[in-house]
Amino acid sequence: MSEQPLVTVTIDGTQVQVPKGTWLVEAAKQIQREIPVYCYHRKMGPAGLCRICLVEIEGMPKLQIACNTAVTDGMVVHTQSDKASDGRRAVLELYLVNHPLDCPICDKGGECDLQDYAMAYGQGYSRSVDPKVSKPKAVDLGPTIVLDEERCVVCQRCVRFDDMIVGERELVLKDRGVRNIIATANGEPYRHNYTGNVTELCPVGALTSKTYRFKSRPWDLRRTETTCTQCPVGCQMHVDVRVGVVQRTMSVENDDAISDGWLCDRGRYNVGFYDAPERITQPMYKRDGGWVQIGWDDALDLWATAIREACAVNPASVGVVGGGRLTNEETFVLQHLFRAKGVANLDWRAGRQRQASPGRNAGSLVDLESCSAILLVGESPAERAPVMDLRIRKAALQKGAKVVRIASAERAYPAPIPSTDVATVAEAIKTVPKEAKRIAIVWDGCDGELATSLLERLPADAEILTYISGEQPNARGAEAMGMLPFGKPGYVKVESGLGAAEMFAAASDGKLAVLSIFGANPALYRADFAPASFTVVSDLFMSETAQLADLVLPAKGPFEKTGTTTNMTGDVLPVNAAHSLETPADALSDLEMIVALAEKLGVELPGAEEVDAAVIRHLAKPPEDFTLGDARFGFEAREKKKRGKETSFEVVVQTRIFAGGGTSAHDARIAELCPLPAAAISPEDAAEIGVSTGDYVDLVPLDRGADGALLGVLRQAQDDNPNHNVGRDLLVEVREGMPRGVVALIGGLPDSPANLFDGANVSVTNIRQTAEDPAETVGAPA
């Protein structure tokens, strides 16, 4: 797209050149002149509703609104004239006629635009003698938001965000005139993955976060800018701490290249785990089947002795899993230490994802917005990388991009977003517009054959951009730092060691003496996980994997340490420890653990400057010798299983941002956001077996050929703990667009580990209809 020519405009006596068509409110920012706004937001454009942005333009008889007035060459504007100030004063008087005077108890106090503008332009008294109009207060709008209708100035930022940015269209304006209120369109709770953004968009105290209500004033907070590590997007965020506790996180407005100024609800709200009472605060050692607390010296001695003795016999009996949730620096030092001991069994891939680096043709997040077609392969980023998904929605809503999902069992996009679901690669190719010159592939990193097939069949004359939306925040950094069995830092090929799956198999056969796991929970996500003879886990909580370990080490969280992380598009981003955040006294960062272990093992590690230089060197240039689905990543072909009988289903495991056995499971403030165990099936299958949305069912694995090994694991797990059954008490969702013969389960739920069923054939049993009282139904949740 050609650039707009520059025009010259004079604002408050200062000349400035800006592109033709620039809104006056944006042009004024070039000379550090802030024009007051309520309804306008630079990501949503002008609305012209609030009228507070009045300015005086020479040659025009009346005041004009700066948000919806484009600059023209030679325009002369006065933003601070008496006429403009009088206009704003009149507008503010009308806003304050019915606005409650509850600033001392309002959560927006100290950072409220209405407060600021009233001080700057208000007249300081009211001429109204009528009582203020009463409206509902403390309205429970949904699991994250409380609404105070009396404070609302009807700027409609929240409504426009839900329409223009997210496309959900849940929030609407109801009633008329002075009785205007914000509400949900269908009367249901306001709920999607981006609801928290409206609390920042709200210029007053009408929309407030439940987790931050009555917690602090902004001047009491210590603010740190860092990178969100809940997913691989790497959104920049502000972390606000008071009295040693994280009170809230906020978006970074100018983070255009990464987050576009937004946060998902997982990144915004999942911060209450830092002071959770279940957090591990001291090394734990399993003795005689029970846990005992020990000191760090003893823990390091046990760990180092086990590694030293195993390496003396055979370094191939030692393995390391982790890195996808560590910093780049921690991952580099981790692989350096174990490779120095001759260990080649290194892998970050603790879950289903096999590849994180797209190699050549890798695109940036901003590039997504200019693509004519976006093809989603495997799981979409809607739950894996939510803020990336906003880029896809933006391309579809605002730029007309064609969004195609291949073999998807996920919920459909909201109606305003034009998207197409197809079953095969061949069908996807047919849907790509012939005139498309830039095409994006967004892959989940799991089915290599599917990604390769698509890549090979796209038009040769089109520019192809590739993306991998993965399971772990620093997966790409872990690969570049050498946490792969076949590659050292910089993807340098070496003689391959064992990958994670092979390590677990070796452990199951008694051939793995020591297994060290850093920031990963494979026991929740893999049916093939088995602990080694001596297993060490570094984590914040006693996860499913930690419970099977012999030694558990208390780790610091991402807000408690400093380093860098690499997001899904290769951007190297800072991770900064939050100011004044209180950390458990005996918790160490993974880097501190690795350094202490190296000292015990007598391995000399590179210095801090050398590590920093290595990180930059290995991440500076993306690899060009491979692309999506490269064979070196060891993809296992998944056979398309033939449906045995009409009542059998193949399990597909899907991600939800608030599922997981780690931080989300130990954050009481967001318990309402965590999903319930559910099973989604197609309307055709639902009619066939006689179930409806809201019913409860059980799933039972079938004895069928390739499922035998998995079946044994599942049945053994059920025998060990009958109440910890993935197939019990599942809430039915009849989902439009689902393929027949498939049941979609939510992965990462500690009380219902559906991941263990991934790819298995199951039958549906023990159907309990919605009308039945769950309390009277055996096995149904209360």
pLDDT tens-digit readout, 242-256: 999 999 999 999 999
As a whole-number percent, the residues of the chain with pLDDT over 90 amount to 83
Residue 591, pLDDT above cutoff 60: yes
491 with 579, same domain: the answer is yes
How many Cβ atoms are within 10 Å of 136's Cβ, its own excluded? 11
Instruction: Please report, for the domain that includes residue 577, its CATH number.
Output: 3.40.50.740
Residue 567 lies in a domain: yes
CA dist 36 and 121 (Å) reads 10
Dihedral of CA atoms 614, 616, 620, 626 in degrees, nearest 10, equals 50
Name the strands in the sheet holding 284-287, side by side, starting at the edge strand that comes first in the sequence.
Answer: 290-293, 284-287, 551-554, 534-539, 514-518, 318-322, 345-347
Helix (H) or strand (E) holding 515: strand 514-518
CA dist 51 and 37 (Å) reads 8
Least confident of 229-233, 314-318, 481-485, 705-709: 705-709
* 168 close to 192: Cβ distance less than 8 angstroms: yes
Please state the rounded mean pLDDT for residues 555-577. 98
Instruction: Please report, for the domain that includes residue 238, its CATH number.
Output: 3.30.70.20
498 with 454, same domain: the answer is no
pLDDT of residue 779: 31
Domain boundary among 447, 468, 489: 468
Residue 59 lies in a domain: yes
Return the half-sphere exposure (C-beta side, CA atoms, 13 A cut-off) of residue 641.
22
436 with 571, same domain: the answer is no
pLDDT of residue 208: 97
Q: At what angle do helices 296-313 and 590-601 cross, to 10 degrees?
A: 60
pLDDT of residue 67: 96
pLDDT of residue 131: 92
Instruction: Please report, for the domain that includes residue 21, its CATH number.
Output: 3.10.20.740
* 710 close to 741: Cβ distance less than 8 angstroms: no
* 622 close to 339: Cβ distance less than 8 angstroms: no
CA dist 524 and 659 (Å) reads 11
Least confident of 122-126, 181-185, 558-562, 583-587: 122-126
SS3 225: strand
489 with 457, same domain: the answer is no
Which comes out higher in pLDDT, residue 412 or 568? 568
Domain boundary among 97, 117, 144: 97
As a whole-number percent, the residues of the chain with pLDDT over 70 amount to 93
345 with 441, same domain: the answer is no
Residue 638 lies in a domain: no
Residue 723, pLDDT above cutoff 50: no
500 with 616, same domain: the answer is yes
SS3 732: strand
301 with 158, same domain: the answer is no
Residue 105 lies in a domain: no
pLDDT tens-digit readout, 536-565: 999 999 999 999 999 999 999 999 999 999
Residue 46 lies in a domain: yes
Residue 117 lies in a domain: no
Please state the rounded mean pLDDT for residues 759-782. 61
pLDDT of residue 638: 59
490 with 615, same domain: the answer is yes
Please state the rounded mean pLDDT for residues 317-346. 97
pLDDT of residue 172: 97
216 with 240, same domain: the answer is yes
663 with 712, same domain: the answer is yes
pLDDT of residue 414: 87
SS3 592: helix
Please state the rounded mean pLDDT for residues 687-711. 74
Q: How confident is the model at residue 27 (pLDDT cuts 50, 70, 90)?
A: very high
Q: How confident is the model at residue 774 (pLDDT cuts 50, 70, 90)?
A: very low
Please state the rounded mean pLDDT for residues 726-745. 88
pLDDT of residue 640: 55
SS3 689: helix
Please state the rounded mean pLDDT for residues 285-305. 97
229 with 315, same domain: the answer is no
Please state the rounded mean pLDDT for residues 155-179. 95
Closest-CA residue to 198 (of 187, 207, 189): 207
Domain boundary among 468, 489, 518: 468
Instruction: Please report, for the domain that includes residue 394, its CATH number.
Output: 3.40.228
Instruction: Please report, for the domain that includes residue 666, its CATH number.
Output: 2.40.40.20
Which comes out higher in pLDDT, residue 659 or 621? 659
Least confident of 288-302, 607-621, 635-649, 662-676: 635-649
Residue 426: domain span:
366-468
* 649 close to 761: Cβ distance less than 8 angstroms: yes
347 with 480, same domain: the answer is yes
Residues whose CB falls within 8 Å of the CB of residue 761, separated by 6 or more in sequence, listed in order:
641, 644, 648, 649, 650, 651, 701, 702, 704, 707
Residue 629 lies in a domain: no
pLDDT tens-digit readout, 214-223: 999 999 999 9
Residue 69 lies in a domain: yes
Residue 704, pLDDT above cutoff 50: no
Least confident of 562-571, 621-630, 762-771: 762-771
Domain count, the chain: 5
Sequence-ordered strand ranges (E) for 563-645: 563-566, 572-575
CA dist 310 and 656 (Å) reads 39
Please state the rounded mean pLDDT for residues 721-728. 51
Provide the whole-model pTM. Answer: 0.93
